[in-house]
């Protein structure tokens, strides 16, 4: 995982590097560090904790270095300590590298390097790279730049795994080298300076000219030139792309947390997403109706929250289009044998468009010859560039690690896709389509009503926030919402929270119920209302406190034993997940706040998981 940034130009590099790291902190925030070249020596500064801790440490540093590389870490190998923080140095402290990814054969390489006399300072997989490079460069006495490029190509053949690297060497004080294999790395090109970064957010303030590296490219940045080499050291041609510079700086709008701001934005983000679909519904997902008509299977793939969106959409596609649909965890899809199916539409759902497991699953689906569509929130992201077509949700930047507005926008998009498949294969007629779209268009207003009712949800949070264990029950389309609500709560409160299909509790989970266990029952007045009442009564009989997430109709039929109720607008059952989750996001937020958690950057997590 991790974020990397490199700067070379005429100005002091530290501010550029720190700004870049702050934009990349969503990729991990266990530690941060940077390495500069000054007077032909490497200057290394690193600190455990967030980028702010590094910035504090740097406040006393006086430097005029115009070249540096920097890193914000999500720990994979070795605890978040100063030693394990990046950049890492070779034994002679002449080479510094930062790394995003995982080196799978690092143990074998480390053993060999130790036998050759290299001294390791960290527990990381990364450190083998810098010692390998040291080994390659040990006898070089001239043509430093050329030999450095050749050496990087040699170590690219020795390393196994996925990685993006930035490298500086004190003997080549006017260049930064970057290379990548299955991990993102791009170049930001400007008139008198150049950048490397894991994504454009790290340099978009300064330049919109971007060069994407291919796997095995070796790029050489000078302050006023860029060169790319292939794996055989031959210089290669590259394209510069102009990206949309209009990426708003994300601010909290005066609120305490991005998460709250993002929850409250949902009436607008869902509406903007729906409007963007309706602009050209038949072609919104890039595949024309004739092609969709022939689809015989749908595969929905994602991780975390995006996977929960996939689970909901499975119900929709089977209901509206009658097409067999599977929802898959990207991390599982890659490592199992897949039965080859004809006419499969594979849909990849990812807020960031960078999740390594989802990227890997997408590559596998493409090899199987499936039509691929991505639903992403970030322009120019890796997934959006690989998929045959991408629909972009219109959420704007989602900063809080726990995903909220991206989820509801994914749901709105998948609902529209389900309608489109049903329309194409004639499971739905024009009247059905119009009715469903109209119902979807009413959703933003009902989300707004939930947000206006935040005080009562906060009141329920105040009643339960000292509990350490929570259960969420749902059925049918709201079973995945039980899973997502539990995920939200555990991500930001660190409490135990489990979501179950309500029909399953009697097969085991009911054993967990103790006196006063809070059990959230998602029960609109729909086809499973009575079943949800049964499940609720079964847990009440064993001492649980049931909190109902219901609609106005359901509230009227509610049993007196269920005192705590979050009441949302009446809406068709199939659309209720988009509303229910908003209420439960607010509940999770307030429990976390009352417990004093670090809501936007919860411990151990990262927003974009770029390692498998």
Site string for ligand G6P, 92-131 (x = CB under 6 A): ----------------------------------------
Cβ–Cβ < 8 Å for 597, 492 = yes
Nearest-angstrom CA–CA distance, 438 and 524: 20
For ligand G6P, give the closer residue by CB, 298 or 402.
Answer: 402
Min separation Cβ 304 and ligand G6P, Å: 3
Catalytic annotation on 462? no
Decide: is 607 part of the binding site for ligand G6P (CB under 6 A).
Answer: yes
Decide: is 350 part of the binding site for ligand G6P (CB under 6 A).
Answer: yes
Min separation Cβ 608 and ligand G6P, Å: 5
Determine the residue with CB nearest ligand G6P.
Answer: 304
Min separation Cβ 472 and ligand G6P, Å: 17
For ligand G6P, give the closer residue by CB, 284 or 605.
Answer: 605
Strand-pair category, 176-181 with 95-103: unpaired
- Cα dihedral 201, 205, 210, 214, rounded to 10, equals -30
Residue with token string 């809406």: 571
SS in 3 state form for 232-251? CCCEECCCCEECCCCCCCCC
Nearest-angstrom CA–CA distance, 133 and 326: 45
One of 153, 355, 408, 555 touching ligand G6P (CB under 6 A): 355
Total H helices, total E strands in the chain: 19, 25
For ligand G6P, give the closer residue by CB, 301 or 424.
Answer: 301
Residue 134, both tokens: 């040291």
Cβ–Cβ < 8 Å for 374, 383 = yes
Phi/psi region, residue 2 (left: phi>0; alpha: psi -120 to 50; beta: rest), is left
Q: Which stretch binds ligand G6P (CB under 6 A): 177-185, 399-407, 446-454, 465-473?
A: 399-407
Min separation Cβ 363 and ligand G6P, Å: 15
Residues touching ligand G6P, count (CB under 6 A): 16
Q: Which stretch binds ligand G6P (CB under 6 A): 229-237, 263-271, 346-354, 526-534?
A: 346-354
One of 351, 372, 571, 576 touching ligand G6P (CB under 6 A): 351
Catalytic annotation on 2? yes
Min separation Cβ 587 and ligand G6P, Å: 17
For ligand G6P, give the closer residue by CB, 308 or 590.
Answer: 308
Decide: is 550 part of the binding site for ligand G6P (CB under 6 A).
Answer: no
Residues 289-318 that bind ligand G6P (CB under 6 A): 303-306
DSSP 321-336: H---EEEEEHHHHTTS
Cβ–Cβ < 8 Å for 484, 404 = no
Min separation Cβ 481 and ligand G6P, Å: 14
Q: Which stretch binds ligand G6P (CB under 6 A): 250-258, 332-340, 352-360, 388-396?
A: 352-360
For 605, counting Cβ atoms within 10 Å of its Cβ (0-12 exposed, 13-18 middle, 19+ buried), the class is middle
Decide: is 33 part of the binding site for ligand G6P (CB under 6 A).
Answer: no
DSSP 425-483: TTSS-HHHHHHHHHHHHHHHHHHHHHHHTHHHHHHHHHHHTT-SEEEEEE-GGGHHHHH
One of 403, 545, 550, 610 touching ligand G6P (CB under 6 A): 403
Decide: is 358 part of the binding site for ligand G6P (CB under 6 A).
Answer: yes
Nearest-angstrom CA–CA distance, 140 and 124: 27
Decide: is 605 part of the binding site for ligand G6P (CB under 6 A).
Answer: yes
**Neighbour-count burial for 439-467, b at 16+ CB within 10 Å, e otherwise:** ebeebbebbbebbeebebbbebbeebbeb
Decide: is 352 part of the binding site for ligand G6P (CB under 6 A).
Answer: yes
Decide: is 65 part of the binding site for ligand G6P (CB under 6 A).
Answer: no
Cβ–Cβ < 8 Å for 519, 536 = yes
Min separation Cβ 407 and ligand G6P, Å: 8
One of 84, 124, 608, 610 touching ligand G6P (CB under 6 A): 608
Min separation Cβ 567 and ligand G6P, Å: 28
Decide: is 44 part of the binding site for ligand G6P (CB under 6 A).
Answer: no
One of 277, 321, 356, 609 touching ligand G6P (CB under 6 A): 609
Nearest-angstrom CA–CA distance, 449 and 433: 25
- Name the DSSP class of 135: H
Whole-angstrom CA distances from 298 to 302, 392, 516 are: 13, 19, 42
For ligand G6P, give the closer residue by CB, 18 or 362.
Answer: 362
Cβ–Cβ < 8 Å for 68, 14 = yes
Min separation Cβ 459 and ligand G6P, Å: 27
Q: Exactly one of 223, 334, 405, 607 is catalytic; which is it?
A: 607
Q: Exactly one of 2, 193, 303, 376 is catalytic; which is it?
A: 2
Binding site for ligand G6P (CB under 6 A): 303-306, 350-352, 355, 358, 401-403, 605, 607-609
Catalytic residues: 2, 607
């Amino acid at each position: 995982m991790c974020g990397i940034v490199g700067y070379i130009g005429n100005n002091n590099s530290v501010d550029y590097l720190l700004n870049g790291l702050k934009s990349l902190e969503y990729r991990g925030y266990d530690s941060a560090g940077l390495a500069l070249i000054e007077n032909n020596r490497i200057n290394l500064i690193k600190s455990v904790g967030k980028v702010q801790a590094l910035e504090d440490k740097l406040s006393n540093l006086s430097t005029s270095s115009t070249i540096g590389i920097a890193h914000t870490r999500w720990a994979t190998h070795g605890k978040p300590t100063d030693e394990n923080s990046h950049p890492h140095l070779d034994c002679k402290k002449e080479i510094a590298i930062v790394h995003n990814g995982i080196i799978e054969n690092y143990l074998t390489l480390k053993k060999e390097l130790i036998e050759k006399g290299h001294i390791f300072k960290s527990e990381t997989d990364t450190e083998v790279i810098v010692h390998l490079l040291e080994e390659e460069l040990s006898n070089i006495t001239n043509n430093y730049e050329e030999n450095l490029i050749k050496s990087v190509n040699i170590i690219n053949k020795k390393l196994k795994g996925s990685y993006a690297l930035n490298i500086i060497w004190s003997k080549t004080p006017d260049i930064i080298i970057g290379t990548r294999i299955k991990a993102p790395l791009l170049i930001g090109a400007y008139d008198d300076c150049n950048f490397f970064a894991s994504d454009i957010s790290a340099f978009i303030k300064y330049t919109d000219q971007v060069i994407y590296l291919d796997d095995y490219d070796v790029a050489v940045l000078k302050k006023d030139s860029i060169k790319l080499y292939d794996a055989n050291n031959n210089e290669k041609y590259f394209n510069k792309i102009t990206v949309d510079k209009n990426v708003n700086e994300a601010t909290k709008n005066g609120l305490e947390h991005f998460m709250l701001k993002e929850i409250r934005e949902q009436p607008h983000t869902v509406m903007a997403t729906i409007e963007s679909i309706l602009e050209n519904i038949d072609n919104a997902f890039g595949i024309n109706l004739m092609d969709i008509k022939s689809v015989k299977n749908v595969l929905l793939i994602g991780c975390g929250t995006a996977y929960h969106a996939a689970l909901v959409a499975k119900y929709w596609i089977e209901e509206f289009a009658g097409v067999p649909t599977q929802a898959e965890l990207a991390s599982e899809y890659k490592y199992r044998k897949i039965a080859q199916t004809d006419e499969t539409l594979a849909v990849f759902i990812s807020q960031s468009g960078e999740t390594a497991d989802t990227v890997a699953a997408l590559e596998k689906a493409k090899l199987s010859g499936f039509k691929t569509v991505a639903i992403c929130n970030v322009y120019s992201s890796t997934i959006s560039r690989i998929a045959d077509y991408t629909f972009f949700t219109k959420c704007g930047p989602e900063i809080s690690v726990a995903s909220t507005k991206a989820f509801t926008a994914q749901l709105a998009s998948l609902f529209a896709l389900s309608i489109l498949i049903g329309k194409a294969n004639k499971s739905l007629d024009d009247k059905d389509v119009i009715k469903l779209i109209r119902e979807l268009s009413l959703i933003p207003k009902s989300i707004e009503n939930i947000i206006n009712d935040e005080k009562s949800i906060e009141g329920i949070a105040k009643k339960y926030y000292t509990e350490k264990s929570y259960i969420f029950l749902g059925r049918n389309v709201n079973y995945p919402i039980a899973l997502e609500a539990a995920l939200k709560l555990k991500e930001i409160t660190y409490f135990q929270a489990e979501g179950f299909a309500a029909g399953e509790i009697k097969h085991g989970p009911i054993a967990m119920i103790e006196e006063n266990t809070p059990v959230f029952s998602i029960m609109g007045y729909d086809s499973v209302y009575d079943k949800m009442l049964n499940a609720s009564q079964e847990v009440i009989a064993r001492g649980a406190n049931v909190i109902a997430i219901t609609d106005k109709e359901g509230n009227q039929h509610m049993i007196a034993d269920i005192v705590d109720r979050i009441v949302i607008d009446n809406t068709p059952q199939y659309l209720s997940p988009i509303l229910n989750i908003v209420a439960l996001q607010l509940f999770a937020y307030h429990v976390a706040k009352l417990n004093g958690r670090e809501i936007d950057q919860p411990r151990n997590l990262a927003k974009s998981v770029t390692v498998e």
